[in-house]
Amino acid sequence: MTSKTHLAFASTAVGVTSVIEIPTPSPGPGEVMVNVAYSAVIPLDTYMTDYGRLIHGEYPVVLGFNLSGVVEAVGSGVDGLQTGYKVCAFATIPDDFITAFYTLFDCLELPPPMFTISALTSHAETPILVYGAGATSGQYAVQLLSLAGYRRDCNRSLGAAHDMAKKILLAAGESIQFVLDCISAEGMLKSISSIVNSNGIVAMLLPVTEGSRHIAGKDVNPFPDSVKLVGAKTLAQNEYLRDNLMPNILPRLLEEDIIQPNRVCLFDQGSFQDRCQGALDVVRNGQVNGEKNLVKVASM
């Protein structure tokens, strides 16, 4: 630890956030210290601030682990990273892209993309429901399905929610075998259960919500026992993907314009507190509109 300090946006009690001054750590073995340029505010930040999730009563908790920046110091035993390298940590593209990838091709066990134009998949014509295709994770899921050779028009806006199940069934022409639910709203789960195949697979991004309330998934399972239900994980057990998807495959897909990141809403005006609070409020109030909310933390 050095005697240096820096400012951080933190949750200081349930529902309370503010900018605080904290000691700047020196990186330990296997660690690097990153000077943060941008940080994305994601739904998980609101679960932590507003519900105390993952905090276990130990305040303050610094927010903004979804970040990009420049390596400022390198601890012992670190290979492949040097001072001055631009890096991202659990940042918006990797987080949601990796989640979508694992959920589709690991949890739902769909054949993955081979990243070749001629690739055809065994489920090319199977209707697959991506509910919440406007969410960041949903946008990556739709792109990945298309890359993997799924031919059905899965990127369709079906309008208002009240007769959504009927509309989905009409569009699909048959009951749904595979579902990726990026929103996991309790009411919508019930609708989906009415159109899913009796031996279908449903992957949900957690937590399940009802309005602004979060509910344990097991308490709100409206599906028959024959339907396989999986709560999606960002990191899966597949060793090859764990070692290659984020560090190698994703950067190539972005460089070659094969995967498009979603739009960004940048909070770069006003004080640090204003920028962080503004971005958090947009996510907290459900005002996100297909964009990722990015806070400018520091000029590099």
Ligand X SMILES: NC(=O)c1ccc[n+]([C@@H]2O[C@H](COP(=O)([O-])OP(=O)(O)OC[C@H]3O[C@@H](n4cnc5c(N)ncnc54)[C@H](OP(=O)(O)O)[C@@H]3O)[C@@H](O)[C@H]2O)c1
Contact call for residue 234 and ligand X (CB under 6 A): yes
- 237: contact with ligand X by CB under 6 A: no
Site string for ligand X, 79-118 (x = CB under 6 A): ----------------xx--x-------------------
* Structure-token pair, residue 119: 């690739």
Q: Torsions phi, psi of 242, nearest 5?
A: -60, -40
What is the phi/psi pair of residue 210, to 5°?
A: -135, 110
Q: How far apart are CA 127 and CA 107, in angstroms?
A: 17
User: CA–CA separation, 200 vs 180, rounded Å?
Assistant: 11
Nearer to ligand X, 44 or 171 (CB): 44
Strand, coil or helix: 181: strand
Report helix, strand or coil for 276.
helix
Q: Does 181 bind ligand X (CB under 6 A)?
A: no
- Give the integer Cα–Cα distance in Å for 51 and 154: 34
Strands 86-89 and 67-74: what pairing? antiparallel
- Please state, in angstroms and rounded to a whole number, the distance separating the CA atoms of residues 177 and 152: 13
- Using CB under 6 A, pick the residue from 11, 66, 137, 277 that binds ligand X: 137
- Minimum distance from CB of 250 to ligand X (Å)? 15
Cα-based torsion angle of the residue sequence 82, 83, 84, 89 in order, rounded to the nearest 10 degrees: 70
* Closer by beta carbon to ligand X, 17 or else 103: 103
CB–CB of 31/75 below 8 Å? Answer: yes
Query: Applying CB under 6 A, which part among 39-47, 114-122, 168-176, 272-280 lies near ligand X?
Result: 39-47
**Does 143 help bind ligand X (rule: CB under 6 A)?**
no
Asked if residue 136 binds ligand X (CB under 6 A), the reply is yes
Which of residues 33 and 277 has its CB atom nearest to ligand X in the complex?
277
Among 88, 108, 288, 295, binds ligand X (CB under 6 A): 288
Task: Please identify, among the stretches 26-34, 65-73, 190-198, 226-234, the one whose residues bind ligand X according to the rule CB under 6 A.
Answer: 226-234
135 binding ligand X? (CB under 6 A): yes
Applying CB under 6 A, which residues contact ligand X?
42-44, 95-96, 99, 132, 134-137, 182-183, 185, 205-206, 232-234, 288-290
